[in-house]
Structure 1
C-alpha cells in the first residue's frame, strides 16, 4: 500500500510546506502563506497592504482572482527522496465577517499563528475554490480529479516525519535493521544498515547502500500515537523476546 496521487496532493498542499502563487495579470511568482481546509480548499493569509493583496484584487466585473499555487516537497532528510510537487489552480476571493472568522479557525487548526488575531486589520484571508490539480513526480505529470482531491485526506505523519525519522536513527537503528532484514529476506544487501528515509501512514522507505525499498504497515496508521503502538513490538526488545 502507498499513498494515491490525490492523497499526496492533499499532503503537499496541507500547509506545512512553502508555496508560491502565480496570479493572473501579475508578473512572476509570489511567496504566499497558506493552509487547506477540510475540503482541501486553500486558505491564503495575506497582508492587507502590499503586493499580494494588490495582485489578488479582482479584475473589473469579477468577484475573485485566478491563480495557481505551486508547492514543492521539502524532504525531511538530505538522503530522503522527494514525494513530488503539486499545482493547485482556481479562484481566490477575500473573506469577510463570519466567513473570515470561521476560516480563521480552520487556518488555526494547521497553523495557529498570531497574525490570525488581526484578520480584518493588517491581515486578510482568502479562500480558493479548486478547479484543477496536477501532481508531478520523477518528471511524470498526473492530473488529479478535483473531487478525488477534495475527498482525500493529508497524511497525518507529515508534520512530524522529520522527528520520527530522527528518533529511529538516534535510538532504534539495530531494531529497525533487524526488522527490515527479516522483511526483505534475500533482497537485503549485506553490510550497510537499512536507514528509514521516508514515513507515511501506509509504511516507510528504507535505503540500503545504493538501493531503496518500501515496506508497508499491516494497516494505515491514524496518527503518531497509533504509529508508536504499531512499532512497539519491533522496537521493544522485551516484546520481541
Structure 2
C-alpha cells in the first residue's frame, strides 16, 4: 500500500516545495510562497509591491481564479518523482482576524519572519481547492476536492532527504543486508547493492538489480507511521539487527 493520489497532492502542495501560480487571463506564471492550512486551503504570502500583487488586484472586489502548480523534487539521485500537483480555486485577500489566523496557519508550515509584516509589506491570499489533479509521467488523475481536503500531508516528506542521506552515509551495509533478505536477493554477485530511494509514512521504495536494468519495489511498514520517532522505532531492527536479537533472547 502506498499514498493515495489525494495524499500525494496534499503532500506536494503543503508548502515545503517551490510553487508557481497561474492567474486566469493574466500573464505569468509567478513564483509564490505558499502553505496550506489544516483544511487544505492554500495560503499565498505576496509582497504588496510585486507584479503578482498587482495582478491579484485586491482592490477590485472580485476573487481571482488561480492555479497552483507544484512539482515534486526527488530527494536523491535515482529517486522517482511523486509527480506534479495542479490545484485551482478563487483567491481572495485576508484581512483583520482572518489574516491573523492565516498567518498562524502559514507559520505552522513555514515560520518566516515576513509573516510579522502581513498587512504592511505583505498580504495573505487564500483559496479553497475546487479542482485538483496529479500529473505523473504518462497520466493525469483528477482528485476529488473532498478527498483532497480529508487527506493529510505525509509527515516524513519534509525530512526525506536527510533520512535517505543518513541511511546511505551511516547504515549502508545494514540496509543493504536487510533489503536483500526482504527481497530474496543473492548476496553480492553482479547486482548493485539495493538501496532505499524514497520513504513515506507507508513504507520504503527500493531500487535494486544490475546496472542498466534497475528495478523498484515497495516494502510496506506494518502500519502507517505518524512521525519521525515512530519511523525510528520501526527501522531499529533493520539498522541494529544484533541488538534486536539480544533483546529477544533476554
TM, length-normalised to structure 1: 0.95
Where in structure 2 are the equivalents of 1:77-156 lying within 5 Å? 77-156=76-155
Which moved further from structure 2: 50-59 or 143-152?
A: 50-59
Q: Indicate conservation of the 8 Å contact 1:203/1:214, yes or no.
A: yes
1:63 equivalent in structure 2:
62
The change in CA–CA distance for 1:167 and 1:240 in structure 2 (over 3 A counts) is farther
Q: Indicate conservation of the 8 Å contact 1:72/1:85, yes or no.
A: yes
1:222 correspondence with 2:221: no
CA distance in 2 between counterparts of 1:126 and 1:116 reads 12
Unaligned runs of 5+ in 1: none
Count of aligned residue pairs for this structure pair: 240
Q: Indicate conservation of the 8 Å contact 2:179/2:195, yes or no.
A: no
Give the CA deviation at 1:42.
0.7
Q: Indicate conservation of the 8 Å contact 1:189/1:208, yes or no.
A: no
Root-mean-square deviation (Å): 1.6
Q: Once the two structures are superposed, what CA deviation does each residue of 1:2-51 show, in whole Å capped at 9, x if it has no partner?
A: 00000000000000100101012211211000000111111000001110
Unaligned runs of 5+ in 2: none
TM, length-normalised to structure 2: 0.92
Look up the SS of the partner of 1:25 in the other structure: coil
Q: Once the two structures are superposed, what CA deviation does each residue of 1:46-74 show, in whole Å capped at 9, x if it has no partner?
A: 001110111111695x5311010010000
1:239 to 235, 244, 247: 244
Give the CA deviation at 1:132.
0.1
1:177 equivalent in structure 2:
176
CA distance in 2 between counterparts of 1:25 and 1:136 reads 23
